[in-house]
């Protein structure tokens, strides 16, 4: 009994030691709270919509200056240039795309770690006036603050903590901030995938929810289906038989592709928009429809694309010209044993602060650059290392929780240090 009691006591001592936070890192993280808020004020103060090249250039320059001041070797990469030649053009891809900020920090170790976030927002020029940066209680408000300017700030001030610690035990620490995430990353996706495959871990800094502080190991992929039908106009009253009704053919196509969702695999395809005709008394010569597609596995893209291309061949009106385009806008982030192990390690670190951090393989939402990072690597890729926030894509209620600043800086700092030192166990 005495041996069992002693073993239990030793276990409790071990647990208490393990659960104690690193006082120096906690202190430095706390010291960065106000500087991080100051950075957020600067970042939010620059409008940077995905199509606002002037604003994107301005914020990229600010971020680049801050990264240089922290000791990084900084590049401003133009999508379509030799440094990033591949541009995936979709129907809504602008001719020119915002630059990518890449910073490299060289250390004394061997591990390669990548930190990513994005600087663009969904907002239009002039909307900042409705929601300038402000602090109210435990909330910091501002346009784009939660999605994703807080992510940039967390990375910058994690680097500041590491610099204060003079920590350089990583081999390479790469920071990548892109300006096209909100338009499905057409100019940066190939670069993200390529660089992620060269690193031992990728930490992505989209924000966590105020409702549930949780990391994401899996997210849904997003695709779109665009259907275009060309018919022939004619008078609907006196000569409808001379026309080719594009509306009828479009409706037929939509109805015959209404049952392609597969709840068992999480595949979803839903027709959401349609347009046809110009006048009530004219047989419509054209019609269009669009569908939203979500998948949980990359392989499901092949399956659904094959299905829609087969079904579209079955026409109601042979004379109509039917075109279908399937766009893979963003792949899913698929969970892996390595990602789960990294997330479990993050939970242990958060536990040192007496805070709970969710982490599981349940598919959450969609639309994350972490998915591009995970495409060509077996290394861990984990999303939502950013601050807790609310109101992304909202014109009047977007905020982050100030009380999440110190814990997140502590977490990301420790993650970089522990990955560098090989302390993240393989699953």
Active site residues: 120, 181
For the CA atoms of 84, 332, 341, 20, the dihedral, rounded to the nearest 10 degrees, stands at 80
Q: How many helices (H) and strands (E) does the chain have?
A: 11, 19
What is the Cα–Cα distance from 370 to 220, expressed in whole angstroms? 11
**3-class state of residue 304 by DSSP:** helix
Question: Do 216 and 210 form a contact (C-beta atoms < 8 A)?
Answer: no
DSSP classification of residue 55? H
What is d(CA 117, CA 240) in angstroms, rounded to the nearest whole number?
55
The two beta strands, 234-235 and 282-283, are: antiparallel
- The label of the residue with tokens 């129907």 reads 91
Nearest-5° Cα angle at 28, 25 to 33? 125
Q: How far apart (Å, rounded) are the C-alpha atoms in residues 402 and 291?
A: 39
Cβ atoms of 161 and 28 closer than 8 Å: yes
Provide the b/e sequence for 68-80 (b: ≥16 CB within 10 Å): eebebebeebebe
Cβ-based burial of 318 (10 A; exposed 0-12, middle 13-18, buried ≥19) = exposed
| Cα first-last separation, the chain | 35
């Amino acid at each position: 009994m005495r041996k069992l009691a002693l073993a239990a006591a030793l276990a409790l001592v071990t647990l208490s030691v393990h659960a104690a936070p690193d006082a120096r890192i906690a202190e430095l993280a706390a010291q960065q709270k106000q500087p991080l808020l100051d950075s957020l004020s600067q970042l939010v103060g620059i409008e940077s919509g995905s199509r606002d090249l002037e604003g994107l250039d301005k914020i990229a320059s600010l971020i680049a200056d801050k990264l240089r001041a922290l000791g990084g070797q900084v590049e401003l990469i133009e999508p379509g240039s030799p440094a990033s030649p591949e541009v995936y053009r979709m129907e809504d891809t602008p001719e020119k795309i915002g630059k990518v900020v890449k910073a490299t920090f060289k250390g004394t170790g061997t591990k390669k770690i990548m930190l990513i976030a994005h600087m663009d927002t969904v907002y239009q020029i002039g909307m900042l006036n409705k929601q300038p940066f402000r602090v109210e209680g435990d909330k910091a408000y501002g346009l784009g603050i939660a999605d994703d300017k807080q992510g940039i700030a967390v990375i910058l001030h994690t680097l500041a903590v590491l610099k204060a610690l003079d920590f350089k035990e990583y081999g390479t620490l790469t920071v990548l901030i892109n300006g096209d995430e909100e338009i499905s990353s057409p100019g940066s996706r190939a670069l993200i995938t390529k660089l992620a495959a060269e690193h031992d871990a990728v930490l992505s800094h989209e924000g966590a929810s105020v409702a549930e502080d949780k990391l994401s190991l899996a997210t849904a992929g997003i695709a779109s289906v665009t259907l275009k039908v060309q018919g022939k106009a004619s008078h609907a009253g006196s000569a409808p038989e001379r026309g080719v009704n594009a509306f009828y053919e479009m409706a037929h196509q939509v109805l015959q592709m209404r049952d392609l969702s597969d709840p068992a695999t999480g595949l979803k395809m839903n027709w959401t928009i349609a347009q046809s005709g110009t006048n009530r008394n004219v047989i419509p010569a054209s019609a269009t429809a669009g569908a939203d597609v979500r998948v949980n596995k990359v392989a499901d893209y092949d399956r659904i694309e094959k299905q829609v291309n087969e079904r579209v061949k079955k026409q109601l009106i042979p004379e109509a010209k039917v075109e279908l385009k399937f766009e893979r806008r963003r792949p899913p982030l698929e969970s892996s044993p390595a990602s789960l192990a990294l997330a479990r390690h993050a939970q242990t670190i958060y536990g040192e602060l007496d805070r709970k951090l969710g982490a599981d393989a349940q598919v959450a939402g969609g639309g994350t650059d972490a998915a591009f990072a995970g495409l060509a690597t077996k290394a861990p890729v984990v999303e939502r290392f950013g601050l807790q926030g609310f109101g992304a894509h909202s014109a009047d209620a977007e905020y982050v929780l100030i009380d999440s600043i110190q814990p997140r800086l502590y977490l990301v700092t420790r993650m970089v240090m522990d990955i560098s030192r090989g302390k993240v166990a393989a699953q």
